[in-house]
């Protein structure tokens, strides 16, 4: 029988080691290129992915594997549990020498995250969660904010795409990493995350569990739950906030003029 806490501990240490490796690559000078137009990657992304595969696959030989930097052979679809990995979420910021990136790892069972770890090597912060066990930042429990109104809400999203919410008094800002946005909101540093575009599973799977275990609600804008490790492994634009604010934002955004 799978042990959620053991899985969390496994991926947390792997995330820390991959994050430190990424910083070491950047410190000595980084080679980077575009996989496709507007989609950057660096040698550190690939090195971190290799480290994670070498650490995680042998430890859980029956688990599937999905990573942004690994060709998907769909074998994960037959596995009871699967790793969902982004070796560096926020590659664009990472390449530019900015701190807005994390290593993101989740374990998915029957479409739901059961263990998650996000590591920010720039600030040595580790967010982690296990199904039913709450969320932690560097070992201390975290909770989403209790803000209940759009007015004054601190929202992470694209400020230029949220005019109606801003007109209603919300404050909008952004960071490059989708996973980091969810982590920051999970610890209460922001009140909500409002995405404008769909996300790949590796962008949000770990952050989704950390956010919900911190007491928040994450869904599509229509309120549908996020189901991971499907085909394709992609989610509609997610909406994440505390329960009361989530309901208000969902109502407002579904009016179609946000």
Q: pLDDT digits over 101-119, tens only?
A: 999 999 999 999 999 999 9
Q: Is residue 43 predicted with pLDDT exceeding 80?
A: yes
Residues ≥6 apart with Cβ < 8 Å to 85? 49, 52, 56, 65, 66, 67, 68, 70, 104, 105, 106, 202
Q: What is the pLDDT of residue 258?
A: 41
Structure tokens at 21: 């490796």
Residues 159, 148: contact at Cβ < 8 Å?
no
Structure tokens at 51: 């480290």
Average of pLDDT values for 162-181?
A: 93
Mean pLDDT of the chain: 95
Residues ≥6 apart with Cβ < 8 Å to 71? none
Residue 232: cis peptide before it, omega within 30 degrees of 0: yes
Q: Global pTM?
A: 0.96
Of the pLDDT bands very low, low, confident and very high (cuts 50, 70, 90), residue 37 is confident
The residue among 224, 247, 225, 253 whose CA lies nearest residue 148 is 247
Average of pLDDT values for 48-67?
A: 98
Of the pLDDT bands very low, low, confident and very high (cuts 50, 70, 90), residue 252 is very high
The percent of residues in the chain predicted with pLDDT above 90, rounded, is 90
Residues 12, 117: contact at Cβ < 8 Å?
yes
CATH number, span 4-141 = 3.30.540.10
What is the SS3 string spanning 156-224?
ECCHHHCHHHHHCCCEEECCCCHHHHHHHHHCCCCCEEECCCCEEHHHHHHHHHHHHHCCCEEEECCCC
CA distances from 40 to 159, 161, 257 (A): 23, 23, 32
Fold held by 154-253: D-Maltodextrin-Binding Protein; domain 2 (3.40.190)
Residues 126, 118: contact at Cβ < 8 Å?
yes
Q: What is the pLDDT of residue 256?
A: 54
Average of pLDDT values for 17-43?
A: 93
Q: Is residue 93 predicted with pLDDT exceeding 70?
A: yes
Q: Is residue 2 predicted with pLDDT exceeding 90?
A: no
Average of pLDDT values for 121-133?
A: 98
Question: CA-to-CA distance for 213 and 245, rounded, in angstroms?
Answer: 17
Average of pLDDT values for 150-172?
A: 91
* Gyration radius of the chain over CA positions: 17
Q: Is residue 78 predicted with pLDDT exceeding 90?
A: yes
Q: Do domains 4-141 and 154-253 have the same CATH topology?
A: no
Every domain of the chain and the residues it spans:
4-141, 154-253
Residues ≥6 apart with Cβ < 8 Å to 254? 221, 222
Q: Is residue 257 predicted with pLDDT exceeding 80?
A: no
């Amino acid at each position: 029988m799978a042990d959620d806490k053991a899985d969390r501990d496994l991926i947390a240490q792997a995330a820390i080691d991959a994050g430190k490796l990424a910083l070491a690559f950047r410190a000595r000078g980084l080679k980077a290129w575009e996989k496709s137009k507007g989609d950057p990657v660096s040698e550190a992304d690939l090195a971190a992915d290799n480290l994670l595969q070498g650490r995680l696959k042998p430890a859980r030989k029956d688990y599937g594997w999905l990573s942004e930097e690994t060709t998907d052979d769909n074998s994960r679809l037959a596995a009871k549990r699967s790793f969902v990995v982004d070796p560096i979420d926020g590659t664009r910021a990472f390449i530019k020498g900015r701190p807005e990136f994390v290593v993101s790892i989740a374990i998915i069972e029957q479409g739901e995250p059961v263990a998650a770890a996000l590591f920010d090597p720039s600030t040595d912060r580790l967010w982690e969660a296990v199904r039913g066990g709450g969320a932690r930042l560097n070992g201390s429990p975290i909770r989403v904010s209790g803000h209940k109104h759009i007015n004054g809400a601190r929202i992470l999203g694209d400020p230029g795409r949220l005019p109606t919410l801003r007109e209603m008094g919300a404050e909008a800002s952004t960071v490059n990493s989708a996973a980091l946005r969810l982590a920051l909101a999970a610890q209460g540093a922001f009140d909500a995350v409002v995405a404008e575009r769909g996300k790949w599973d590796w962008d949000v799977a770990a952050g989704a569990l950390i956010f919900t275990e911190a007491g928040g609600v994450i869904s599509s804008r229509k309120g549908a739950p996020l189901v991971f490790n499907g085909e394709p492994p992609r989610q509609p634009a997610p909406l994440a906030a505390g329960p009361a604010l989530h309901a208000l934002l969902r109502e407002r955004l579904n009016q179609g003029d946000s």
